[in-house]
Structure 1
Amino acid sequence: MSKTDTAKIYVVGGGASGILAALSARYSGANVTILERNPRIGKKILATGNGRCNYTNVNTDIKYYHGKNPEFAYGALSAFNVQQTMGFFEKLGIVPRIEDAGKVFPMSDQASSVLDVLLYELNRAGVNVICNTFVKDIKKTKRGFMLRLEDGRILEASKVILACGGKAMPSSGSDGNGFEIAKKLGHPVVDIFPALVQLKLEGDFFKQIEGVKFVGTAEVMEGSKSIVKDRGDILFANYGISGPPILQISRKAGELINAKREAVLKVSIIDDMSENELDEFLAKRFRNMPEKPLDFSLVGFINKRLIPVILRQAGIGEIKKPVCNVSTAERAKIAKILTDWRFKITGTRSWPSAQVTAGGVDTTTINPYTLESTLVKGLYFCGEIIDIDGACGGFNLQWAWSSGYLAGKSASCAPN
């Protein structure tokens, strides 16, 4: 066998967590090989932060992570924290720039620069990288592991780190194969679903308001209970709704839908006034221009394309009648919709639109302080394949770096 065929540690997957796992293991003296199914590694890194790479967040805290047991993330996040992450990348040449809400970007504003310095470091450190290589199956042997590739080749290693990612953004190579490998090795997988993703809503008018953008508040409701909410730029789409606040709250919507419970979206287009305050504002506005057509009377206050849809949702058939003929009840209904517009959430967009996978390999079968399997000695996990996912804003990449670092260090230091 060649040198690469007898590498001590194989890292399956060359994404963010796999790259850090490989470097961490190599720094500890291990002979490491990354196996990547794509023609090049780090493809998903290039898409993060809208091509700018929001590579961490200075406000990283366990409260920004989800899963059956979010506290599981403490081990990795403590082993390689935000300060260590920023220091690591600064040493490689990435100058950090901290922006709103603690998001950290490279000064270059290019995700490609993050990948460039990682590729340089892999080469400098002597990590073997084999691309266009798809691992179909992994079996435990007396000497370690046997990896069967799609082309029929068999590789052997003493340790394996599974860094295959989830199912989000399948164009990056994430198709869920890692979950199947984990299952065959005896690991239960918590139900997966798309997260940080747009929401599909019930309604027949979305094509009319597609592309309408506003700053407001979005909230996921179950019955009368508010589950989660966020504020910012919200965008209507032909399938429903998008924008950063929608991505942030989509995880909770997905949980409800996955559990076959009803999820409702509450949208506040006007969120700086209460319903009563807005009703009074509209009453004054209407008094100042009593002969104006109702639809035209709202021009300059809300997006023009929203007006006919909102008026019809308020049950007003004659939307061009003078505002002096608008009843108190009709005006109150307009105020209600503008401050509390409810939609039934019918689902989320699918995997190609999702930024991250919710669910994954059950953390009860992974040691949180080493990321080694508690079922299969010598098998380690890192990144999105584990049932841990973060909020939007750099938290998922921090989990990738932290879990990759811990898995690589643990695999290289543990006895064979």
Structure 2
Amino acid sequence: MSKVKNEIIVIGGGAAGLFAAIVAGRSGAHVTILERNQRVGKKILATGNGRCNLTNMDMNPQHFHGSSPKFALAALHRFDNYRTIEFFEQLGISHKVEDRGKVFPFSNQASSVLDVLRHELEHLGVEIVVDAEVKEIKKVKNGFDITIKNGQRYFAPKIILATGGKAAPNLGSTGSGYQLAEKLGHRFIETYPALVQLKLAEPFLKQIKGIKFDGVAEIIVDKKVQAKAQGEILFTEYGISGPPIFDLSRTAAQGLHKNKRVLLRISLITHLSREDLAQYIKKRFSDNPTKNLSFSFVGFINKQLIPVLLKQAGIGDINKKVAEVTSAERDKIIDILLDWQFEVIGTNTWTAAQVTAGGVDVRDINPQTMESKIVSGLYFAGEIMDIDGDCGGYNLQWAWSSGYVAGKSAALA
């Protein structure tokens, strides 16, 4: 087959790739997107539980992670959350700000975000080629020779690798871009799932699955607290989930990856100090001394959780009268309510993960342009790089920011 020639080829039609293509197109470049799926933007449709968490009003750098997280600062500064909101407002996406600074489309539809991106791509004349899985990239004189699965070849002086990571392979993220980058000489930081549920070792999880509560969670690695988060937490039959757990999952996975012992500490009661909680429980007991211990917590603790908590506190007879509960037993109950510890044995699979930790080593990429320091004309955008963010719109903001810089730099180089 003959080569198809373009000025810029974007490999990957996810959030970062689409954004890079739009920015490059607006800068006057002729752009083609090669997408391995049958349509672009599949992962965008799944973000924010189908609502698309566009960005976040709190852009503290601490929300971003990687072996060199400061790498992200230049792009995040150049195209920040306010510019993201402005960009989408101009395309017709009204926005609203919700809890923890999360920004969503006013329509509550991720599909509307993809719709306006596709409309802008069409308006700019960006060509989209689907079912175009890239199998090989060769650096040749004055550019790149690209071969896709069906044998078709493309040529471009500049390419943008935006193939994503390994998270959500059902949406097209297979990690294929890592091999492409490595063959071009780039180093690779080993990957593991992030923003994902945690698996716990305890045998009683099926008894408490489905229970939600607002609490504080901490990850302890080698007896040291490494991360802390607060919010709605959910027990599952295999472990634990919820936004705070997603935020902590990277730290947990990293510890497990290094073969360290990882514990999860949960505080079910966050509005009372230990002293106040002790006084409160003592009063509950004294107000109804003839109630059995298990029933005495009804109205304070989820009923389904009570027998498990009491057994974890080492109470042999959970149905004895509260008047018979010793002060030592009461202290053990308080310990569990404030400091319930679980052994973390793993994370859920790549299919359940929202983002990839690890990826192409950013030490080999110019943070000001997203261009490779190794291969001129090669640019990167999005999750393929070793940068990932917390739950709450940070990973999409990284896609927009890095896509903006890559697209603008490639077009103007």
Q: Same fold (TM over 0.5)?
A: yes
Matched, 1:61 2:54: no
AA paired with 2:176?
Answer: N
SS at match of 1:218: strand
Deviation readout 1:153-204 (Å, 9 max, x if unpaired): 2222111110000001111100110111111111111111111111111100
Q: How does 1:251-330 map to 2 (within 5 A)?
A: 251-330=250-329
AA paired with 1:387?
Answer: D
Unaligned runs of 5+ in 2: none
Other-structure match for 1:144: 143
Q: Distance in 1 between matches of 2:298 and 2:163?
A: 51
* TM-score normalised by structure 2 residue count: 0.97
Other-structure match for 2:103: 104
AA paired with 2:142?
Answer: R
* TM-score normalised by structure 1 residue count: 0.97
1:152 is displaced (CA, Å) by 2.0
Q: Distance in 2 between matches of 1:5 and 1:289?
A: 81
Q: Distance in 2 between matches of 1:335 and 1:83?
A: 45
AA paired with 1:216?
Answer: G
Q: Distance in 2 between matches of 1:312 and 1:137?
A: 58
Does the 8 Å contact 1:57/1:82 carry over to 2?
yes
1:225 is displaced (CA, Å) by 2.6
Deviation readout 1:41-72 (Å, 9 max, x if unpaired): 01111111111111011222322110111110
Q: Distance in 2 between matches of 1:255 and 1:377?
A: 33
Other-structure match for 2:183: 184
AA paired with 1:323?
Answer: V
Does the 8 Å contact 2:200/2:344 carry over to 1?
yes
Across the two proteins, how many residue pairs are aligned to each other?
413
AA paired with 2:79?
Answer: F
SS at match of 1:190: strand
Runs of 4+ in 1 over 6 A off after TM superposition: none
Q: Distance in 2 between matches of 1:77 and 1:30?
A: 23
1:239 is displaced (CA, Å) by 0.7
Deviation readout 1:261-311 (Å, 9 max, x if unpaired): 221111011122233332222222112211211111111110011111111
1:224 is displaced (CA, Å) by 4.1
Other-structure match for 2:375: 376
SS at match of 2:374: coil
Deviation readout 1:298-339 (Å, 9 max, x if unpaired): 111100111111111111121111111111111110110011
Q: Distance in 1 between matches of 2:37 and 2:374?
A: 29
Q: Distance in 2 between matches of 1:277 and 1:332?
A: 13
Q: Distance in 2 between matches of 1:24 and 1:324?
A: 71
CA RMSD of aligned residues (A): 1.3
AA paired with 1:18?
Answer: G
Other-structure match for 1:412: 411
Other-structure match for 2:171: 172
Q: How does 1:208-287 map to 2 (within 5 A)?
A: 208-287=207-286
Does the 8 Å contact 1:148/1:155 carry over to 2?
yes
Question: Bigger CA drift: 58-67 or 333-342?
Answer: 58-67
SS at match of 1:337: helix
AA paired with 2:306?
Answer: I
Q: How does 1:22-171 map to 2 (within 5 A)?
A: 22-171=21-170
Identity across aligned pairs (percent)? 55
1:143 is displaced (CA, Å) by 2.8
SS at match of 1:34: strand
AA paired with 1:308?
Answer: P
Q: Distance in 2 between matches of 1:266 and 1:19?
A: 40
Q: Distance in 2 between matches of 1:116 and 1:311?
A: 52
SS at match of 1:230: strand
1:91 is displaced (CA, Å) by 1.0
Other-structure match for 1:386: 385
Unaligned runs of 5+ in 1: none
